[in-house]
Structure 1
Amino acid sequence: MSATLKDRLREYFHAEYKPGERALVRKIDFFILTFCCLSYFTNYLDRSNINNAYVSGLKEELNFVGNELNQIQAAFTAGYVVGQLPANLSLHYVRPRIFFPACMVVWAGLTMVTASAHDVASIAAIRFFQGVAEATTFVGTHYILGSWYTERELGKRSGIFTASGLAGTMIGGYIQTGIQSSLHMRHGLSGWRWLFIIDGIVTLPIAIYGFIFFPDTPATTKAFYLTPEQKALAQSRVPPVPNHSPLSWSFLRKALTSRFFWGFMILWIVAGEAESFSSNALLALYMKSHPVYDYTVAQLNNYPTGVPAAGIVSTLFWATLTDFLGGKRYLVGYFIGITGIVTSALILSASHDADPARSTPTVFGAYYWAGAVYACQATFFAWANDALRYDEHMFRAVVLAGMNLGSNVINAWWTIVFYGASMAPWFRRGMWAMIAVSIALVIWTAGLSYFTARHERELKEEQSPGAQQDEEGKENMA
C-alpha cells in the first residue's frame, strides 16, 4: 500500500476536528440521524406495504384486475408530486421540528385508514393524500443533512439515511409474513388489513420523538441539548450564505434558469427510472405470475427482500467510497448504468428460454443485483448538496425538491407504460426501457460531472488570495 493511500485512509478515519467539534457531531448524529432514519424507515414501511398486501390477499379480496395496482401507485406519485415544492418551501416558514413530525402523524393516520378500504378507488384516494403527506421526507431530510454536515461527512450520513428506507422495504416483507401467520382473520380482519394498522401505529411514537428532539437547522435551532457554544460552532462549520425569502420573481427566475436546477433534475429523472426494477416490486410480480412455480404467501413476501438488502449494501459502500475519494459522486452513475444494462439483458435472455424453470435462478440473480442501483439516492442528492453548498439555502432546497418532483412526474406514467402488472412475468418493454435510461444516465453523468468540476474550480479561483487582492486593487483604483 503506497504512503499516499495510507495517509488518505488515516485522514479519512481519523479526521481532525476543532475543539469541541467531535462532541457536537456526536450529538447531531444521535438526534438528527435517529429521527431521520426512523422516519424514513416508517415512510418506506408505510409506502411499500401496498406491494406486500397485494401479493398477500389484497388482489383477490378487492378484485384487482389489469394494471390497477400500478394506477394506485400512480395516484400516490401524483400526490407526492403535488406536495413536493409546497412542502419543501414550507421549511422556510415552519420549523422542521414541527413540520416533519406533523406530516408523519398525517401519513400514519392515512396508512391505518387504508385497512378499512373495500374497493380500489378508496385505496387510490387514500394513497394520493398519503403521497402529499410524505412529499417532504426524502428531499427535506437531504436539505437538513446538507445544512448541518460538512462535505467530508455528508456522503456517509446520506447513505445511512437512504439505507434506513431500504430497511423499511425489506423488513416490511417479513412483517407481512408474521402478520399473515399470526393475525390473519383475527377479529374478522385479513392479514393485509392488519399490516396497514400496525405500520401506522409504529409511526406515531417516532413523530412524538421528533416534536421533542429534532434540532431544526444550525441558524434556527433551539435544541435544549446544544450549548450556546455548540450552536455557534454548528453555524461556523457550514458556509455563510444568504437566506432570502423564496417568494420573489428574482428567486423563481434564478431557479428556473439555473443550469444546476435542470442538470440535477434531469439526472434524477433518468436515475429514478433506473430504480424501476426495485421500486415497482418487479420480482414479487414475477413470482406471482411465474409460468411454472406457485409460490406461497410467505415466499412472495420473503424472497423479494433480497432486493433492498442489496440496495443497503450498495448504498453504504458507495456513500462511504465517494466520501473517501473526495466527493466523486458521479462514479455511481457509471456503476448504475452498467448494472441496468447487464441485468435487463439477463432477464430479456431468460424470457426467451424454452424452460422457464431453468432460467429462474438467472432472473432472481438479476433482480437482486439490480437492487444495487438504490445507491444513487444517497450519492446523487449528496452531489447536489455539495455543488450548492455556497448558494442560498432555499435555492438548494428547491433544486433538491425539483429533482424529486421531476423524477416522480415521469414515474407516474412510466410505471404503467413499462411495468404494468399485466406485463408480468417478463416486462420485456420495461427491460428495453431500462437499457435506454442506463445509457442515457452514463452520458448525462459525464456531462454534469464536467460542469460541476469546472464550477468548483471557478469558485476556488474566486476565493484565492490572489483573486481577492486583484479585486481590492480594482476598488482602490476606482
Structure 2
Amino acid sequence: MMSIKLERRLLLKIDWFILSYCCLMYFTNYLDRSNISNAYVSGMQEELHMVGTQFNKINTIFTCGYIVGMIPNNMMLQKVSPRLWFPTMQIVWGVLTFCTSAVKNVEQIYAIRFFQGMAEASTFVGTHYVLGSWYTSAELGKRSAIFTSSGLVGTLFSGILQAAVYKHLNGTAGRSGWRWLFIMDGIITLPVALYGYFIFPGLPREKKAFYLTVEEHALASERLEGTVQVVQEPFTWKIARRILSRWRWYACTALFAISGETESFGSNNLMGQWLKAIGGYSVEQIDFYPSGMTAVAIVSTLVCAIWTDRSGIRWPVLVYMSVACIISSICILVWSSPIGLKFFAYYLAGASYAGQATTFAWANQICADDDQERGIVLASMNMFNNVINAWWSIVFYPATDAPRFRKGMIAMICACVATLGVTWLVYYLERREWRSRGSDVKESGKDDKQALDESGMADVYGGSQEKGSIQK
C-alpha cells in the first residue's frame, strides 16, 4: 500500500517542476504566437504595406508549418526525451521571434512563421501526453487547465506588453514599437528554454529527475498501473489496426477538430480588428481592450477544470462553451446593437477556451489504458483541428470583413451546434464502452470493486468508490 505522505510529496514535486516548465514554455509559445496579431494592429500593417487578406495568410502559413511539424515532432518524442526536445524547439522558435523584428516585407514573415509553426508543433500535444503519463484522471483536469491557462496568460500579456512597448519604445533606436515587441518576446523565451534543460523530468519511465528519490520514481509508475499504460510498446501495424478499429480515434479527433474552431474570436483577434475598423480608439486601447476576452478565458478554463475533476464529468463544459459562443455571435450579428453589448459579446466569447483543456483531459481519460493510442489520438485531435484552421480564417474571418465578420458569426453558430452534436456522441460511446466492460467483468465473476479498479472507471470518476456510487 502506497504511503499517502509519499504520494503527496511526489505530487508536490512533479507539480512544481513539470507544471512550472510546461506552463512557462506554453506562456512563451503563445506570447510569440499571438504577438503577430498585436503587431498587425500596432503599425505593422502600415509599415509593411499589408493589404487584403495578407494577415490571414500569415496565420494560415503558420498553421501549415504547425501541421507539417506535428508528425516529425511526435516521432522525435519517441526517440528523444521531452526533457531535451522541448527546450531545443523553444530555442528555435525564440531565435525566429528575434528574426521577425528585422523583416522588410510580408513575404519574409511568411517564411519565418512557417518554420516557427514547425518548431512550436512540439509543445501542445507533447505536453498533454507528458501530463497524462504522470497524473491520474482525477488529477489531470486541473493540471491541463493550468497548462492551457498559461498560454492564455501569454496572449493576455502580449496585448499588455505591446501597449507598453508602443508607448515607451516606439521609435527607439530607429525601430517601430511592433518590432520591439518581437525582441522583448525573444528575450523572455530563451531563459525559459535553459530552465527546461535543467529541471524538466521527461517521462516517468526515464527516471532522470534528480529531485525524485528511487522510491518516488517507482511510485510515479506504480500509482498509474491499472488506469494508465505505463510501459510503452513499439509501434506496429497491429497497433495501428487496433486503434483504427475503435471509436476513440474517430470521435475524439472530430470533437476537437470542430470544437477548436469556437476559439476563432481570440485566435484571429476579431475584437482588435473590430476596434481598429470602427475607429475612435488609440493603438494602446486596441491592444489592451481585447485582454478582457483572455481574462474570461482564463477564469472559465480554471473554474471548469476544477469542477470536472471533482465531478468526474467533462461534457457540460463543452455545452457551456458552445452556448456562450452562440449568444456572442448573435449579439454581434445584430449590428444595430449598442457598442456595450458588442464588448460583452466579445468578452463572453472567451468561454470558448474552456473546452480545450477539458477536451484533451477527456481524451487522456478515454485512452488511458493504451499508451500508443493515447499519443496518436492526442496528436490527431490537434492536427485535424489545425488542418481546418489553415483555411477557416481565410474563408470565414478575412481581415477585409472587419468590422462586422458576418460570415464568421454564422460559421461560429454552426460550429457550436456541431460541437454539441459530437459532444453527445463521445458521451454516448464512452458510456457504452463502460457498460460493455461492466458486462465482461460480471461474466468473469469479478466483484464490483475489482471491476472498477481494472477498468479505470473508479479513477475516472474522481474517487467515486469512496462515495459509494458512480455518476451516470
Report the TM-score when normalising by structure 2: 0.91
Percent of aligned positions that are identical: 48
Deviations 1:424-461 (A, max 9, x none): 00100011111111111111101110101222333455
Q: 1:42 to 1:464 in 2, by over 3 A?
A: farther
Partner of 1:371: 350
Q: Is 2:280 the counterpart of 1:286?
A: no
Q: How does 1:153-302 map to 2 (within 5 A)?
A: 153-239=139-225, 241=229, 242-246=231-235, 248-290=236-278, 293-302=279-288
Distance 2:234 2:192 in 1: 30
Confirm or deny that 1:359 pairs with 2:347: no
User: Cα gap change, 1:17/1:410 in structure 2, threshold over 3 Å: closer, same or farther?
Assistant: farther
Matching residue of 2:96: 110
Q: Distance in 2 between matches of 1:217 and 1:465?
A: 36
- Alpha-carbon distance in 2 for matches of 1:201, 1:184: 18
Q: Which residue is equivalent to 1:83?
A: 69
Which string of whole-angstrom CA distances, capped at 9 and with x for unpartnered residues, describes residues 269-308 of structure 1?
1111111111111000101101xx3211100100000111
**How large is the Cα RMSD of the aligned pairs?**
1.6
CA–CA separation in structure 1 for the residues paired with 2:118 and 2:405 = 29
- Greater CA deviation, 456-465 or 120-129? 456-465
| Counterpart residue number, 1:315 | 301
Judge conservation of contact 1:461–1:467 (CA < 8 Å) in 2. Answer: no
3-state SS, counterpart of residue 390 of structure 1: coil
Cα distance change on mapping 1:369 and 1:313 into 2, 3 Å: same
User: Where does residue 454 of structure 1 map in the other structure?
Assistant: 432
CA distance in 2: counterparts of 1:123 and 1:330, whole angstroms: 39
Shift of 1:257: 3.9
Cα distance in 2 between the residues matched to 1:78 and 1:467: 52
1:13 aligned residue: none
Aligned residues of 1:169 and 1:308 also touching (Cα < 8 A): yes
1:419 to 381, 385, 397: 397
Q: Which AA in structure 1 matches 2:275?
A: M
C-alpha contact (below 8 Å) 1:269/1:406 kept by paired residues: yes
Q: Hey, what does 2:455 align to over in structure 1?
A: none
1:464 deviates by 6.2
Pair 1:287–1:235, CA change in 2 (3 A): same
**Residue 429 in 1 paired to residue 407 in 2?**
yes
Equivalent residues of 1:344, 1:434 under 8 A apart? yes
CA contact (8 A) 2:324 2:348 kept: yes
2:136 counterpart (146, 150, 170):
150
Report Cα offsets for 1:19-68 as digits up to 9, x if no partner. Answer: 41000000000000000000000100000000010011000000010110
Pick aligned residue for 1:337 from 322, 330, 334 = 322
Report how far residue 184 of structure 1 moved.
1.1
Specify the code of the residue in structure 2 equivalent to 1:423. D
Q: Which amino acid aligns with 2:165?
A: I
1:370 alignment partner AA? A
**CA separation in 1, counterparts of 2:315 and 2:207?**
33
1:388 to 358, 367, 371: 367
Verify the 8 A CA contact 2:328 2:345 in the aligned structure 1.
yes
| Matched residue type, 1:277 | F
Moved more, 364-373 or 254-263: 254-263
Structure 1's unaligned 5+ residue stretches are 1-15, 470-478
The partner residue of 2:388 within 399, 402, 410 is 410
Cα distance in 1, alignment partners of residues 417 and 158 from structure 2: 32
Deviation at 1:186?
1.2
The worse-fitting range, judged by mean Cα deviation, of 332-341 and 99-108 is 332-341
**Deviation sequence 1:366-401 (CA, Å, 0-9, x none):** 01000111001100000000011111x232111101
Q: Quickly say closer, same or farther: Cα 1:78–1:33, change in 2 above 3 A.
A: same
* Corresponding residue number in structure 2 for 1:29: 15
What code does the residue aligned with 1:434 have? M
- The one-letter code sitting in structure 2 at the alignment partner of 1:20 is L
One-letter code aligned to 1:289: A
CA distance in 2, matches of 1:105, 1:465: 55
1: CA distance, partners of 2:440 / 2:204: 26
The gaps in structure 2 that reach 5 residues or longer are: 448-472
8 Å CA contact 2:325–2:351 kept in 1: the answer is no
Contact 1:111 1:200 survives alignment (8 Å): yes
1:50-65 equivalent positions in 2, closer than 5 A: 50-65=36-51
Partner SS for 1:152? helix
2:454 corresponds to: none
- Asked whether the equivalents of residues 251 and 425 of structure 2 are also in contact (C-alpha less than 8 Å), the reply is no
Letter in 2 for 1:422: T
Deviation at 1:245, TM superposition (A): 1.9
1:92–1:245 contact (8 Å) kept in structure 2: no
Taking the aligned partners of 1:452 and 1:335, their CA distance within structure 2 comes to 20
Contact preservation (8 Å) 1:85, 1:398: no
2: distance between equivalents of 1:33 and 1:443?
Answer: 33
Q: After alignment, is 68-77 or 81-90 more displaced?
A: 81-90
Q: In structure 2, the residue corresponding to 1:116 is in which secondary structure?
A: coil
The letter for the 2-side match of 1:288 is K
The Cα shift of 1:17 comes to: 6.6
Cα deviation, 1:185-235, whole Å, max 9, x if unaligned, reads 111111111110110111111111111111111111211100000000000
Contact (CA 8 Å) 2:66, 2:386: kept in 1 or not?
yes
